[in-house]
Structure 1
Amino acid sequence: MIETLYGEICARKEKPQEGSYTNYLFSQGLDKILKKVGEEATEVIIAAKNNQSELISETSDLIYHMLVLLVEQDVSLDEIKIELMKREGKLSKTKERKQIDDL
């Protein structure tokens, strides 16, 4: 499903369609896309404190906007998969991580 959505977003960037929200984001540029990603990330956090249906909806919005960002920045899903595969099976020690309060 994510691959299909990513492909549709790529297609919209290559062949804009009038009235398309995706094309609106591309026409507004990187700053607008980043603002939307930030807004949606915040909404996911708030939704997680409220209810599951809201969390599902907001997570879907965040994934969509993240995919728009990846397309805008010419980052392929394969590049993301490769990065995730590099991390697979690696142990991360909590003492090597910054404390949440220090972020």
Structure 2
Amino acid sequence: AVDAATKESVSTPPKDGPPFPQEDAPAAKKEEIAKQEVVQTPEELEAQLERDELQLLVEKHAAKVRRESRRQVTKFETDRRVLRAQSHHM
């Protein structure tokens, strides 16, 4: 009875993951993606670098610009309320 249990546990493949050949597939896909990125023309590379630079610029200044614009809106709303109270009807 012990030998049968040992044979069953040895002969059953692990149920956790796929067999080894399928694990190599994601690595192959990564290599294909890397090759596609390397094949960019100089114009495409320049455009990509410009987009990345602009994105970094936006991320760098976004919080400051939002805060400043919110401050300006609040200031104008306050001025409008104050000046409306001081205005004369014509």
**TM-score grouping bracket, smaller chain normalisation:** under 0.3
Decide which structure has greater helix share: 2
Structure number with bigger Rg: 2
- The TM-score normalised by the length of structure 1 is 0.23
- The TM-score normalised by the length of structure 2 is 0.25
